[in-house]
Amino acid sequence: MDENKAAFEPRIIAFVCNWCTYAGADLTGTSRIKYATNVEIVRFPCTGRIDFMLLLKAFAAGADGIIVSGCHPNDCHYTSGNFHARRRWIVFRGLLDFLGIDVRRIHYYWVSAAEGAKWAEVVNQTVAEIRELGPYTEYKKVANYIEETEAAHE
Ligand code: FES
């Protein structure tokens, strides 16, 4: 790994469901399992709520990588929200790729309330992979351009 990538601390935004992954992440803390501190958690009732614009807004806000994580299949608190999220992801992925978004920066997982150790692994693995990719400067350049253009027309 080159020196710049080793020094780079990725900013990861994690969209997690309240009932499984958020509780799992809480268990990581109460179990005193150490893991990378690069992640900012955004709690949702269910991953079925995640939409395309949230992913773009996370990148626009400076994320280098995104985690979406919810209940395992058949464990969703709302029966099928995680299946809807998974289907949406298949559609989003193609659309994001078409728009030039680096889809390697978006990671999708299932983490239950009992999997505190898995949450730590998920975060550590994502941080390592995003660190290897480097800062997501391409998206930030586009986001800054859009912001400046909008400001100029106000
Ligand atoms: Fe966890 Fe639906 S409540 S994914």
What mean pLDDT is predicted for residues 103-126? 96
Which atom of ligand 1 is closest in space to residue 85's alpha carbon?
4
pTM: 0.88
142: CA distance to ligand 1 center in Å?
A: 32
State pLDDT tens for residues 30-79: 999 999 999 999 999 999 998 888 888 899 889 999 999 999 999 999 99
Given its phi and psi angles, is residue 126 left (phi above 0), alpha (psi -120 to 50 degrees) or beta? alpha
Mutate to test the pocket of ligand 1, among 15, 16, 17, 108 (most ligand atoms within 8 A of CB): 17
For ligand 1, mutation pick of 77, 108, 109 (most atoms within 8 Å of CB): 77
* Beta pairing class for 65-70 and 39-44: unpaired
Q: How far is the CA of 101 from the centre of ligand 1 (A)?
A: 26
Instruction: Give the pLDDT mean for 115-121.
Output: 98
Q: Are 28 and 35 in contact (CB under 8 A)?
A: yes
Task: Tell me: pLDDT of 95 over 90.
Answer: no
CATH, range 8-152 = 3.40.50
> Mutual orientation of helices 52-60 and 137-152 as an angle, nearest 10°?
90
Residue 98 CA: distances (Å) to CA of 38, 58, 91, 94, 121: 28, 18, 11, 6, 30
Residue type, 20: C
Ligand 1 site, CB within 6 A: 17, 19-20, 46-48, 70-71, 76-78, 81-82
| Residue 16 amino acid letter | V
Angle at alpha carbon of residue 71, lines to 43 and 86, rounded to 5°: 90
